[in-house]
Amino acid sequence: MDIHEYQAKEILSQFGVGIPQGALAYSPEQAAYRAREIGGERWVVKAQIHAGGRGKAGGVKVCNSDHEIQAVTEDMFGQKLVTHQTGPEGKGIYRVYVEAAVPIAREIYLGFVLDRATQRVMIIASSEGGMEIEDISAESPDSMIRAVVEPAVGLPEFQCREIAFALGIKPGMIQQMVRTLRGCYRALRELDATMVEVNPLVLTGDDRVLALDAKMAFDNNALFRHPQIMELRDKSQEDPRESRAADHGLSYVGLEGNIGCIVNGAGLAMATMDTIKLAGGEPANFLDIGGGATPERVSRAFRLVMSDKNVQAILINIFAGINRCDWVAEGIVRALRDEPIDVPVVVRLAGTNVEEGQKILAQSGLPLIRATTLMEAAERAVQSWRADQNRNPNLKVV
């Protein structure tokens, strides 16, 4: 789960990370009032969306008066901000963050991520802040500093000082940098975050270390332990299909093809999508129904997949262990009887109660295409989609 910049800053400040003075606004009038509350002569107005690249897209503006802030935010609110991370559809601006401008002397990149290769938290830092990490890695690879946190020890001060020295921090600011590094690590560890990124972390002209921008992402599977983090979720920034799926305990990922996938398990999902591509097709999405799927759960999954207008065929690939093939078959039949669809449906069942599941499908009288292997199922899904395309050339090809 992602959160907004202002939310990430509030969290990091609770762990000792310095941030500029700022406040949230939901209207142009409130934004101007926030600037007067903060005081000063210059402010930065930032559109709050779940995406990077806001500055280049016009979502970050420097203003010199409250009247300018009101004019700028009137153009922002209700608009779609399109960045390289949002895609062409963009994301709506419904709130802005007004922040006091600070005298920037240096910009630094700082990131904490889970490195799956080492199964450790990896700290990535660079003296070239203000750019995307991909650009930094490509343009200034020598500036990249990497450090691994040993989980049995945590992040000790001496390791933070080593990073600070490598970044060329002035001696008088070393302790602030240590506090910032340890605060970010504690926030990541204690709140089950998967990523903390501060870009840029700035050194100001008056010798302060401040997080000028911040991003945090959290492990969805651990949110039950942190209801205060769950409350920060902003559904307006999420894919509505993924949001609806999450509300029902399902995992949905939207893609750009035309064959919808219903599976159980992330590994099987990846194998299914690879096989579809091998057969000459393109997956439109995949929906993981998880373990112990009831007929109601399968029926709900069907409706979610069909809510994607690009779906022109559905492949159901279930390898039942905890799940039961007869439950899945009942869900398929129920969904198609309640809401008949006009796209081909290919079903491959294997595992627990497969014979009962196949019998339910065979006796349903529904035009289902059955397969016994994954390769056969993928080939039949692609073939049936192409046959439908030939019969109806007006179908959208993705």
Query: What's the CA gap between 76 and 94, in Å, rounded?
Result: 8
Residue 46 among known ligand-binding residues: yes
Contact in structure between 348 and 319 (CB atoms under 8 Å): no
Is 197 designated active site?
A: yes
Other Cβ atoms within 10 Å of 386 Cβ, number: 15
Among 182, 197, 37, which residue's Cα sits nearest to residue 133?
A: 197
Other CB atoms within 10 A of residue 38 CB:
16
Cis geometry, peptide bond prior to residue 200 (ω within 30 degrees of 0): yes
353 known ligand binder? no
Catalytic residue among 6, 97, 109, 185: 109
219-253 b/e with 16+ CB inside 10 Å = b?
beeeeeebeebeebbbeebbbebbebbbeeebbbb
Which position among 6, 97, 128, 197 bears the catalytic label? Answer: 197
264 annotated ligand binder? yes
Residue 54 assigned to a binding site: yes
Q: Which stretches of the chain are DSSP H helices?
A: 5-14, 28-38, 66-76, 133-139, 157-166, 174-190, 227-230, 240-247, 266-278, 295-306, 325-338, 354-363, 374-391
Residue 109 is among the residues annotated as catalytic for this protein: yes
Both tokens assigned to 184: 């970010």
Residue 138 DSSP SS3: helix
Annotated binding residue at 342?
no
> Is 29 flagged in the annotation as binding?
no
Tokens of residue 266, six digits: 């992330």
Annotated binding site: 46, 53-55, 99, 102, 107, 199, 213, 264
Annotated binding site for substrate: 264
Residues annotated catalytic, as ranges: 109, 197
